[in-house]
A and B are shown apart, each in its own frame.
Chain A
Amino acid sequence: MEAVVFIFLAVLYLGYFVCALPVAAVAAFAIYGLGMPLAYLYGLAQVLVVRPPWLSMPTRQPKLPAGADPAVLQYFYGPALVDADHAVRVAHGNCRAFVQRGLRAAGGSVSSDAALMGWPVGIGGAIGMTAGTLAGIVVTTGCAIVHLLTVGVSAACVRAIGMFLRLADSAVLRMRNINMVCPDCYERVPYPGYECPGRGCGHRHRDVRPGRFGISRRRCRCGTRMNTLLLFGSAQMNAFCPYCGRALEHRPGKAPEIVLPFFGAAGAGKTRLLLSMVTQLETWNQDGILPAAFGDSATTRELSSAREILRSQAATAKTAVKLPRSYVIRLMADRKSRILHMFDAAGELFYTSERTQELRYLSKAETFILVVDPLSVPSFWDQLPAGQQTELAGLRSNAPSPELAYQQAHLEIEAMGARLRSARLAIVFSRADLIDAPDADIATWATDTLGLGNLVRSAQLNFKEAAFFFTAAVMAGDVIHESISTLLRWVLRGHGIDPPREGPS
């Protein structure tokens, strides 16, 4: 009887063994085959989505070069790789914990009090877990490859878009002929730096263009968003020169810039001519002929009294012998804006090459104004009647020959690499209100009467266009002398601006 019972129980146990072992193996295989990739995805979700407070710290951190802008790195320029590394580590930890839990369960089923019943499940589970883990590793590796490929492709796309936008913005600037020049340091500014517009922040960003800190927008460390391109409206922020750090109040980048240097001997009348041209622009602005406005506070401070100075007929103050800052005037012609930089350097800076070399804005100009005082030319002065000489003696400048300033500036402009063959030169003879206008052509008069033949021939040979003007920087009542508007029209026409003769009625 006992033998029968034993055989029955043995058959029953064998049946249990035959069933339990494969069932446990299949179940363990399924659990680990699916559980491993799920553990990986759970780790990915922890790092990328949930980010619980107890999440471990990433072992790597993106590095920034010293002196980098105070902005948050764009995700695909470092942080995405840090996250990928972090996610793989967290997922690896999850998978390992998952396998260890299974190993403990399998070991427990073999060593427990009910080991007789548990060991087929434990053995089956261990076999299934081993196979499932191997299969899970393959699937998890596939998931990791997909994740890393997604990061890599996204980073490549974002960087390509950034590069494209940067090139597109540069192309637009080139097409619109926008070359920015700093009024203070004369450097050609490829792109202005911008101050963070956040309240109370003032962090300075030297290069906001698409790149490691953002594609269409970047975020300052204070959290404020900033546009990265002039195309996207970055010109609305406060700009500064990335070379000298001084403020560019005229918000450059949206309008072509005209660099207009005045040069000539000391006392030739450069400043007075500049003031009269500014006054003419003011008149045109008031008459609705050509809308114009001072571009920054320094220009407003210096030039807002130009009309009063001319009207009072008082002598213009001597220009300080120092590197000049440009006067910035914004012009609106045909609904398009232009920025006019007028550089008025003291005549003394044109007497020696060392001083003239410092005037690096000369190489950025396409139009030059040479101012010559006919009274300073000895041969002309000697021809004047004695009475007129007595009358004008106080107004005559003691400057060296106008040819010295011309030759000096001419040589230095060429040495700076400027292409004079594409530049225009206005040779302006001042004092038209004091001496009689020449009967002949002004160039012929300058050659024959003033003895400036060399200067005239050199200007005509070396420049694309040399025009001659005879101007009087004076006002009759509230009207500026008509010679000024003739000169101003010639200057502006070369830059695509042709102010109408009359304002809108």
Chain B
Amino acid sequence: MTRPVEEQTYRSQRWFIFAATLTVIILVPVLCFLS
């Protein structure tokens, strides 16, 4: 496990990667369906 300073530093970037991945995974089928 990484140290607390790194955990704190990476929190927002990890959230960003998770949210971006989830958004793409949801959006791609929706856009495919709509088109």
- Chain B residue with the shortest CB-CB distance to A214: B9
In the complex, chain B residues whose CB is within 8 Å of the CB of A37: 25
Of the stretches A71-79, A229-237, A437-445, the one at the interface is A71-79
Stretch from A42-50, A165-173, A239-247, A494-502 at the B interface: A42-50
Render B1-16 as a binary contact track against A, CB cut-off 8 A, 1 for contact: 1100111111001111
Q: Is the CB of B17 within 8 A of A221?
A: no
- B33 partner residues in chain A, CB cutoff 8 A: none
Choose among B9, B15, B20, B25 the residue that contacts A72 (Cβ–Cβ < 8 A): B9
Given contacts A49-B15, A154-B16, contact A146 B9 (CB under 8 A): no
Contacts of A76 in B (CB 8 A): 13
A49 B14 Cβ-Cβ under 8 A: yes
* Given A41-B22, A221-B5, A147 contacting B17 (CB threshold 8 A): yes
CA distance A493 to B15 in the complex (A): 56
Q: Is the interface of B mostly helix, strand, loop or mixed?
A: helix
With a cutoff of 8 Å between Cβ atoms, the chain B residues found around residue A150 in the complex are 17, 20-21, 24
* Count: A-B pairs, CB below 8 Å: 57
With A49-B18, A150-B17 known as contacts, the answer to whether A79 contacts B6 (CB < 8 A) is yes
**CB-based closest 9 A-B pairs:** A75-B13, A48-B14, A48-B18, A147-B21, A223-B5, A150-B20, A150-B21, A75-B10, A146-B24
Q: Give the interface of B toward A (CB within 8 A).
A: 1-2, 5-10, 13-18, 20-22, 24-25, 28
Given A47-B14, A48-B18, A49-B15, 6 extra CB contacts under 8 A: A55-B1, A80-B17, A147-B17, A154-B16, A219-B5, A223-B8
A–B Cβ pairs within 8 angstroms, 14 of them: A41-B25, A48-B15, A49-B18, A55-B1, A72-B5, A75-B10, A76-B13, A79-B6, A142-B25, A146-B21, A150-B20, A154-B20, A221-B5, A223-B8
